[in-house]
Amino acid sequence: MVILTIKTLLSAVRPPYPYGEELVDQFSFVLKLCWFPLLISTFALCVGAPGLQAAGILSLFGGLDRLGGFFVVTAIRWIGPVVTAVVVSGVAGTAITADLGARKIREELDALQVLGVDPIKNLVVPRFLALMIITALLDIFAIVFGLTAGIVAELVYHQSLGGFFATLFANASVTDIWGSVLMCTIFGAIIAIVCSYKGMTASGGAAGVGRAVNQAVVISLVAVFAFNYVFTAVLLATNPELQTIR
Amino acid sequence: MNAWLEVPRGWLDSFGEIARFGSQVTGQVFSGRVLRFFGESVRQAGILIFGSALIIWAFVFILGLQCGIQGAYLFRAQGVPSYAGLFSAWCDLREALPYAFGYILSAKVGTGIVAEIGAMRISDEIDALEVMGVPPITFLCASRLLATWLVLPFVYLAGIGIMYFASYLAVVEQVADVSSGGYSLIFWMFQNPPDLIFSLIKGMAMATVIVLVGCYYGYTASGGPVGVGTATAKSMVFNIVMVHILGMLGTVIFWGANPRAPIGG
């Protein structure tokens, strides 16, 4: 997998660049598949977990306007990137593994190599780049819908929205956003590499493709969450200004 | 425009069929007909324990660490670092654990079932079962559902323990703003046995849906090796969305009207 990462990175930057069209194709394919599951997932998760649970305890203190500040911590710093990664790996990652695995089983990848077409440059690189970009962009989408869920939770408790927005914008910082987006870019890279690798090494007929998809999604989820833990710990420890409540 | 609406339209198409298929499988379990194949259930339960339990616990451990550091830094900022236990108690038990359980189950168990049953469907083994007089839905799907119900509650409860341990590590040992005793006091004050039961119900509802969806997509797979791959991918999409919806419903039903916190009146 490490070898595949290095090869992908090298052939992404080394000319010629024949993968432009495939990149656009993959980009729109992932976007079409992901937007609806992501919308429902972030909305449901943010209404439930940070929305109603936190609003419950904040209403005991009589400080429901503080929910905005809490949403910076949860929706932007944590849930946005994580749910994006889960949805992208579950939706786009599985599709990539199934696609490449099917090509491997039907020996199309070998045929490509015989024809002198490099499968890494023409198949893996566009998926890698597309997933990196789109995961970062979908993260913004997820944050927007997460905050919408926060507004819904606030309305459930019959609060005015002024306090929510005031604490939200007071607490959100540029570091939060770029941390979130950068994290998602790396998530996209991890997912693309794991899923392409598992697809390209699938073997064993019908059961093999299914098993490859299964392993790919498990490995990418665990890798994403492990990386998320390290990244969050580093981000919070190295940027003390994130920890002040305003 | 049609391509953009393909995913939701596909769900609308298959939702009713999945509900019908699911109720059929559940009926087989409740009517006791599945007990004819109890040996198969025990075998599937063994596969679940050896194949999936470890990965679930590893995943839960990582998420427990996350809940710990987020809570620790959040409450340090508020000036009450000793209350980090509040965040990790709620985050662990009420939200993160059911979601972590749902994610990893749909990734590991759900897609695994689709791959397995789908491969059987493609190689005509399911038809062969029918010819031999073995009811395939009972033998393949109902026995897996029974195995899920036998094993996963215990895996879930063990996962809670592991997650608590991970949060403790993150808050007390890693960030180290609060003493062990101070953390434990708040941590145990903000949860009680009903919370545990509610959390378990949430997790098991997710597990049931995931297994049923997996069985459905595997059972109806078609189109050669490629078909198995696409069915696996589709089941994952459906499962992720169902996990989130069930999680939200659980929160609204169990804690929506009453946060169950030992504060005020």
- What pLDDT sits at residue B154? 94
How many alpha carbons fall within 13 Å on the CB side of residue B256? 14
Q: Does A209 sit within 8 Å of B232, measured CB to CB?
A: yes
Q: Does B263 sit within 8 Å of A57, measured CB to CB?
A: yes
> Could you write out the DSSP letters of every residue in A82-131?
HHHHHHHIIIIIHHHHHHHHHHHHTTHHHHHHHTT--HIIIIIHHHHHHH
Q: Which of A77, A87, A208 sits opposite B240 (nearest CB)?
A: A87
CA distance B108 to chain A (A): 6
- The C-alpha angle with vertex A87 and arms to A48 and B19, in degrees rounded to 5, equals 70
What does the longest C-alpha to C-alpha distance in chain B come to?
70
Residue with more model confidence, A234 or B77:
A234
**B 22-51: CB under 8 A from A:** none
Q: Does B232 sit within 8 Å of A94, measured CB to CB?
A: yes
- What pLDDT sits at residue A28? 85
Q: Which of B90, B174, B224 sits opposite A206 (nearest CB)?
A: B224
Q: What is the pTM of this model?
A: 0.88
Q: For B146-168, what is each residue's pLDDT tens digit?
A: 999 999 999 999 999 999 999 99
Q: Which of B8, B229, B264 sits opposite A102 (nearest CB)?
A: B229
Considering only CB atoms, which chain A residues are within 8 Å of B59? Answer: 221-222, 225
Give the chain A residue whose CA is nearest to the CA of B78.
Answer: A245
Q: Does B248 sit within 8 Å of A47, measured CB to CB?
A: yes
Q: Which of A56, A83, A207 sits opposite B115 (nearest CB)?
A: A207
* Interacting residues of B78 by C-beta distance below 8 A, sequence separation 6+: A245
Considering only CB atoms, which chain B residues are within 8 Å of A70? Answer: 74
- The CA radius of gyration of chain B, in Å to the nearest whole number, is 21
Considering only CB atoms, which chain B residues are within 8 Å of A53? Answer: 90, 94-95, 251, 255, 259
| Residues of chain B predicted below pLDDT 50 | 265
Q: Is B216 part of the contact surface with chain A (CB cutoff 8 Å)?
A: no
Give me the residue label for tokens 């019959």: A158
Give the chain A residue whose CA is nearest to the CA of B9.
Answer: A36
Q: Would you call A22 exposed, middle or buried from its count of C-beta atoms within 10 A (0-12, 13-18, 19+)?
A: middle
Length of chain A: 246
Q: Which of A47, A56, A86 sits opposite B259 (nearest CB)?
A: A56
Q: Identify which of A231, A243, A234 has the alpha carbon closest to the alpha carbon of residue B84.
A: A243
Q: Is B220 part of the contact surface with chain A (CB cutoff 8 Å)?
A: no
Q: Does B118 sit within 8 Å of A213, measured CB to CB?
A: no
Q: Is B264 part of the contact surface with chain A (CB cutoff 8 Å)?
A: yes
Does residue A240 surpass a pLDDT of 80?
no
Cα–Cα distance, A182 to A187 (Å, whole number): 9
Q: For A34-74, what is each residue's pLDDT tens digit?
A: 888 888 888 888 888 778 888 877 777 777 777 888 888 77
Q: Is B247 part of the contact surface with chain A (CB cutoff 8 Å)?
A: yes
- What pLDDT sits at residue A29? 83
- What pLDDT sits at residue B166? 93
Q: Is B94 part of the contact surface with chain A (CB cutoff 8 Å)?
A: yes
Which residue out of A94, A156, A200 would a mutagenesis test of the B interface target, given it has the greatest number of B Cβ atoms within 10 Å?
Answer: A94
pLDDT cut 90: percent of chain A above it: 13
